[in-house]
Amino acid sequence: MLIFLVTSALAWLSSIWHPQKHTCDRLTVHRIPGVHILSIETQERHNYSFPAVPSLNPTDVHDLDFCDVTVTLTHPGGDDFVTVSIWLPLTDWNGRFQATGGGGLAAGYIGPAQAAAVNQGYVAASTDGGLTLNGTINPQTGAWALRPDGSLNTALLKNYAHRSIHDMTVIGKALTQSFYGTPPKFSYWNGCSTGGRQGYFAAALYPEHFDGILAGAPAINLPHLYSYLFWAPVLMINSVTPPQCVFHAFQKATIDACDPLDGAIDGLISYYDPETCDFGPETLIGETIECSELDSNITITSEHANLVDQIIQGPHIADGRRLWYGLAPGASFRGTADTITTNESTTPNPFFPSIGWTKNFVFQDSDYDVLSMDFEDFDTAALLSIARYTDILGSEGHYLYDFQYTGGKLLSWHGLADDIIPSSGTIQYRDRIEEDIEDLDEVDEFYRLFLAPGVGHCGGGYGPTPTDPFGALVRWVEEGVPPETLGAAGVNGDGEVVTRELCRYPLVLVYDGDGDVNDAGSFSCEYPEEVV
């Protein structure tokens, strides 16, 4: 006892003499129910640099000094092997914790997403959720879904769906306490696509983990969304597979037809009303266009027009049932209708994670040949995806009462020209929460959704992209200043800078009639019913 007191007193004195010095060894994590920690390894990193990775970490980061902690764990009975990575700034910690999300069939990206957060002073967490099988596979193959005997790996599926969010957050907060002697003052989630879905799942399933959640382009309807992702490839396999120049022509014609309807000819479809923008793909039939992929010209056929019409209408099965939304007007076709042209011959190039989903999750057959699917196979696959995975990966049963009650804030945004996840699914979710809570203002107090015209999946596309949505979230959480609009900037096809203040749904951007169309100040936010 006496020795303990003396050591404690010495430790206390030492902390006074060396207030900034945190030691990276002897970090501990207390027992976590349902988790068996296998190892904790720590390493001090100094002058650490990380190259830019688009959308995760847009610029190079340099000179990071942090404690790099790698925790491995398993879930008893699950036979999984999960790696959790926590980076703790050695100096200038900003008092906050940030958990970062994954994409496609990956639960997280250890490294790139954390680098950006540590650079801003956050403790940053990421995990592979066990989906790399201890670094031996690319999780985007979806090969982790099946055990060697061919059965579904339900432990990894659970990690992917939500458990990895919980594990990394509990461990990250515990290590923060162990390292700095104090828990984080504020905790955040930051993710897009699958990372966005994880953010929505965190709000619904772990409402006390985060004070603020940034969730971009969320893959919240994955089992249904899958039918959209594979619709275009199946259409092409069974009709015509055009080079991308053909799709570009349709994309451009759609933008030309629907852009003016929001009042501003700015190359952006800011407000889309299917009643007024009835662009008909058949109007391009017979037009001859230059085609860089073919090194010659190509004439648009009725088969091309029919294909585009079907992609925009969205997936449906033989009995006519529509399963999901179609491609947003003005979006690129690259996301789901990508093709590769070599030597005059063009083949479909389906979105990579959706190939893994078809083989390993839907048919549970890693040898399944996705490029031979006919419409009957498509119907089977789409219905199986919904039947098997809606319980664990759908969001229909999720509610946000507890998140609202604990004071959490959910800031979400979605590109209106997202070519991989149609924003309609996110709008549907927000509408459902609104109907559920029955009071739009009350929803706005904790959950806001911003739609970004012309922006693709988590960025890209041709419209102005949100510049600092995470900063807006932090101001909302810590200063109580809710984002009325979300600042966005980009460069248009003529190389001119375009800015917008994106509106929170259901408001839409409306042009003032005579200002510079590149300038955010020429637009305001109005309810769509007030737009004439």
Ligand X SMILES: *[C@@H]1O[C@H](CO)[C@@H](O)[C@H](O)[C@H]1NC(C)=O
Q: By CB under 6 A, what part of segment 131-150 binds ligand X?
A: 134
Q: Is 264 exposed, middle or buried (0-12, 13-18, 19+ CB in 10 A)?
A: buried
State which residue, 284 or 477, has the beta carbon closest to ligand X: 284
State which residue, 66 or 210, has the beta carbon closest to ligand X: 66
Phi, psi torsion values for 455, nearest 5 degrees: -90, 140
Is it true that the peptide bond before 506 is cis, omega within 30 degrees of 0?
Answer: yes
Closest CA to 231 of 349, 338, 316: 316
**Residue with structure tokens 């000179």?**
63
**What are 525's two structure tokens?**
């936010």
Tell me how far CA of residue 440 lies from CA of 201, 484, 504, in angstroms: 21, 14, 12
CA–CA dist 84, 82 (Å, integer)? 7
Shortest Å, Cβ 334 to ligand X: 21
Shortest Å, Cβ 222 to ligand X: 28
CA–CA dist 340, 389 (Å, integer)? 31
State which residue, 31 or 46, has the beta carbon closest to ligand X: 46
Q: Is 20 in the site for ligand X (CB under 6 A)?
A: no
State which residue, 289 or 392, has the beta carbon closest to ligand X: 289
Which residue from 26, 46, 367, 372 is in contact with ligand X, where contact means CB under 6 A? 46
SS (H, E, C) 80-136: CCEEEEEEEECCCCCCEEEEECCECCECCCCCHHHHHHHHCCCEEEEECCCCCCCCC
Shortest Å, Cβ 111 to ligand X: 16
Radius of gyration of the chain (CA): 25
Q: By CB under 6 A, what part of segment 335-374 binds ligand X?
A: 342-343
Q: By CB under 6 A, what part of segment 288-327 binds ligand X?
A: 288, 290, 296-297
Q: By CB under 6 A, what part of segment 49-108 binds ligand X?
A: 81
What does the CA dihedral 110, 116, 121, 122 come to, rounded to 10 degrees?
-40
**Residue with structure tokens 């049932």?**
321
**What are 234's two structure tokens?**
């199946």
State which residue, 286 or 521, has the beta carbon closest to ligand X: 286
Shortest Å, Cβ 79 to ligand X: 10
**What are 139's two structure tokens?**
């999780």
Shortest Å, Cβ 133 to ligand X: 8
Active site residues: 193, 418, 457
CA–CA dist 250, 13 (Å, integer)? 71
* Residue 281 bridge partners (DSSP): none
Q: How many residues bind ligand X (CB under 6 A)?
A: 10
Shortest Å, Cβ 498 to ligand X: 29
Q: By CB under 6 A, what part of segment 230-289 binds ligand X?
A: 288
Could you write out the DSSP letters of every residue in 246-288?
HHHHHHHHHHHHHGGGGS--SS---S--TTT----GGGGTT-E
State which residue, 18 or 322, has the beta carbon closest to ligand X: 18
Provide the binding-site residues for ligand X, judged by CB under 6 A: 46-47, 81, 134, 288, 290, 296-297, 342-343
